[in-house]
């Protein structure tokens, strides 16, 4: 899995992984495993992240029934 993130975020993640003595891949795996999901399979933090952006994260758009 590859993803582009801002340099500061990447540096922070590398630093955390290094202090834990794990790879970046393992750090990402652990973060994903800990995501708490709602009934629709969306992370609970998704609304906050989408609201903070003008463009929703791909695949994270709300699909509420009217």
pLDDT digits (tens, 9 = 90+) for 45-55: 887 766 665 56
- For residue 42, is it within any domain? yes
pLDDT value at residue 49: 65
In a domain, 22, yes or no: yes
Mean pLDDT on 36-50 = 85
The answer as to whether 25 is a domain residue is yes
Asked if residue 27 is part of any domain, the answer here is yes
Whole-angstrom Cα distance, residue 19 to residue 14? 9
Residue closest to 58 by CA, chosen among 66, 3, 50: 50
* Structure letter (DSSP) for residue 10: H
Structural contact between residues 46 and 60, judged by C-beta atoms closer than 8 angstroms: yes
Mean residue pLDDT across the chain: 82
**Which of the two residues, 55 and 36, has the higher pLDDT score?**
36
Confirm whether 65 is domain-assigned: no
Judge whether 24 lies within some domain: yes
Average pLDDT over residues 7-11: 91
pTM for the model stands at: 0.64
Q: By residue range, what is the domain housing residue 22? A: 7-51
Q: Is 57 part of any domain? A: no
- Count of domains observed in the chain: 1
Q: Is the pLDDT of residue 10 over 70?
A: yes
Residue 60 lies in a domain: no
């Amino acid at each position: 899995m590859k993803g582009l993130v801002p340099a500061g975020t990447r540096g922070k993640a590398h630093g955390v992984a290094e202090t834990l003595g794990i790879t970046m891949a393992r750090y990402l795996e652990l973060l994903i495993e800990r995501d708490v999901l709602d009934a629709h399979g969306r992370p609970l933090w998704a609304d906050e992240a989408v609201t903070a952006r003008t463009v929703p994260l791909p695949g994270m758009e709300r699909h509420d029934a009217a």
